[in-house]
Structure 1
Amino acid sequence: MNFTDIKDFREAHIHQQSNHDNLNEFHDDIMRKTVQLAMKKMEDEQGEIPAPFAFFLMGSAGRSEQSIWSDQDHGIVFDGSESYQHYFLQLGEKIVEGLEIAGYERCDGKVMSSESRWTKSVDEWKEQVVNWLEEESWQSLRHFSTFFDSRVLLGEADLLQELKEETFQYIDNNPKVIPRLVDNVDFIRKGVGVFGQLLPEQSGKMSGQINIKTTTLFPYINSLRLLALCNDFNQAPTMSRFENLKSKYPFLSDYQMLFKNLLAFKFEFTNDVEEYEEVHYIPLKDLSKRHKQELKEFMKKGTELFDRTKHTIEEECSK
């Protein structure tokens, strides 16, 4: 098997996935096979892997919220000497090349395991995570949020867990960072105008289309990430965060069902797009009157959830 074989398998089967969950399980399978092949190639060329490690996904892949097309967001943490970084960066490059062949575009922001920022030893990773939180700049907190939405696809899950425990310890000792994390995501792009009309893109290739990611998904994703951070909950998928936290916050139950329906809505209207840049956009002309009302309700409730989350955090988490 080579990377092209994996690409052919992906192309032959990806449109057969029947729902959002099946699609994300399929992505995991494709990416896991790609990483395993990259590891074999690396060992054949450079010798055996020098230390235990974890390859982890971030962003929508980390949250198990990928669409039919996805770019790459991933990193590596290894348990060993910092001198091993060179080996793991080379492995990361092979993974990036393999995933690109398989159909996953390189991340424009270079959030990939071929980059030194995203491939480090356990100790270096701990230092970097704390530095991001201490710096409290817009960019450093964005890096941190990207990292926190992570899960291990292959390797030693305990290594990523150790990094997240470092995160929780820092936040427990420095709760004032929580309001800064809230501020970092406290902008919701308006999807509905003052007269109740949906607000599509006004120009460019996506003119007449709604960006469902920025107007609709983000408030749910950001709310549950913040609550997970406040409650030392390490799992990344938004649905897992809902499921774990709703016993403490009963108001989440209604929003959990809305978010599940929102993922199904997105799957229905983006599952036939032909390239990555289209996966977050839905043409208004494709939506019936009922679907437009559904979308408006998703937007309204997402904003409501984020407001309730901010209030909850002000009461509980940032004192």
Structure 2
Amino acid sequence: MNYEAIHLMRKQEIHKQTTSEHLNQWHDELMKRVVHLAIEKVEAEQGRIPAPFAFFVMGSAGRREQSIWSDQDHGIVFDGKKEHKRYFLRLGKEIVTGLELTGYQRCDGKVMASESMWTQTLASWSEQVIGWLEQASWQSLRHFSTFFDSRVLIGQKNLLAKVKVTTFCYLENHRQLYNRFIDNFDFIRKGTNIFGKLLTEQSGPMSGRVPIKTTTILPYVNAMRLLALHHQESRASTLQRMQELKTKYTFLQEYEAIYHQLMEFRFVHTKAAENYDAVHYIPLHQLSKDDKKELKQFMKSGSELFQLAKEAIETECSKW
């Protein structure tokens, strides 16, 4: 099977997926096919892979929250010599090419395994994440947040786990950083006006559409990332983070159900999106009265969850 055959499979099967969960399982299997094919091609050219490695996905793929369309956010960590980096960058470039040919848009911010920042040795990765935390700028914490929402798709899971353990050890001794995380995440784009009406984009190609990603989904994602960091929970999925931490925070039981409903709501209302940009928006005209009411409640609940997470961390940090 080649990339063209995988792309054809994507076109034929992607709209057959019936739930958000099924769609993300399907994305995983498709991406794994691409990565295995890329490995075969590079090994045929360059020889066998020279060191243990892990190819990991980040962002919506890392959290298992991809839509019909998705871009690429991924990296490679390998346990080998620095001179092996050239090999893994070549592999990263082949993976990027393969994913693009099969329908996954390149990341505009170049968060991809073809880039030096996102393909490194185990030691260099640990140094880099600590460097991001030490700098603690808006940009460096953005890089760190992107990395933290990661999971291994192909390769040795323990390599990525070791980098995250390094992160947790550092945060244990620099707990003031949680306030920086809160500042970094503490912005929720308004989804309704003072009259309670849904706000849409006013100009451009997304005019008349509700930006569901920034107004509705990100508050849940950011809230659970904060709690996961605080409690050294390495899983990337927002729902898995809720499941793992709901014994500690009983309020998460309610929001776990809400977030699952939100993912299905987005799945239903973005299935017809024509491209990657459009998948983050819902045309207002396609929403019924009940849909609009439900979406507003999702927005309200997301804001409430972020506030609860923020207050919980601030209260616990004040006891240190």
What TM-score results when the alignment is normalised by the length of structure 1?
A: 0.99
Q: Distance in 2 between matches of 1:20 and 1:4?
A: 25
In 2, the alpha carbon distance for the partners of 1:156 and 1:101 equals 26
Aligned to 1:140: 140
Structure 1 contact 71–104 (Cα < 8 Å) conserved: yes
Cross-structure match for 2:5: 5
Amino acid at match of 1:145: S
Q: How many Å separate the matches in 1 of 2:168 and 2:252? A: 22
The one-letter code matched in structure 2 to 1:268 is: V
Counterpart-to-counterpart distance in 2, 1:62 and 1:178: 22
Partner Cα distance (2:109, 2:302) in 1: 26
Q: Which residue of 1 aligns with 2:21?
A: 21
Distance 1:202 1:10 in 2: 33
1:317 positional shift: 3.8
TM-superposed CA distance for 1:34, in Å, is 0.2
> What does residue 131 of structure 1 align with?
131
Aligned runs of 1:87-106 on 2, under 5 Å?
87-106=87-106
Aligned counterpart, 2:239: 239
- The residue type paired with residue 19 of structure 1 is T
Q: CA deviation at 1:45?
A: 0.2
Question: Runs of 4 or more off by more than 4 Å in structure 1?
Answer: none
Q: SS where residue 67 of structure 1 aligns?
A: coil
**What do residues 54-82 of structure 1 show as CA deviations (whole Å, max 9, x unaligned)?**
00000000000000000000000000111
Aligned-residue sequence identity (percent) comes to: 57
Instruction: Report the 3-state secondary structure (helix = DSSP H, G, I; strand = E; otherwise coil) of the residue aligned with 1:75.
Output: strand
Q: Please give the root-mean-square deviation of Cα atoms over the aligned residues, in Å.
A: 0.7
On the 8 A contact 1:230/1:317 being kept in 2, the answer is: no
For the residues of structure 2 that align with 1:26 and 1:249, how far apart are their CA atoms? 32
In the alignment, is the contact (CA less than 8 A) between 1:56 and 1:151 conserved in 2? yes
Structure 1's unaligned 5+ residue stretches are: none
Q: Which amino acid aligns with 1:87?
A: Y
Number of residue pairs matched? 319
Name the aligned partner's letter for residue 119 of structure 2: T
Question: Counterparts of 1:218 and 1:139 in 2: how far apart (Å)?
Answer: 17
Cα distance in 2, alignment partners of residues 10 and 206 from structure 1: 25
Structure 1 residue 296, shift from structure 2 partner: 0.4
> How far does residue 274 in structure 1 lie from its aligned partner after superposition?
1.8
Displacement after TM superposition at 1:106 (Å): 0.2
Give the letter for the 2:240 counterpart. S
| TM-score, normalisation: structure 2 | 0.99
Q: Work out the CA distance in 2 between the residues paired with 1:126 and 1:2.
A: 35
Alignment of 1:98-247 (within 5 A): 98-247=98-247
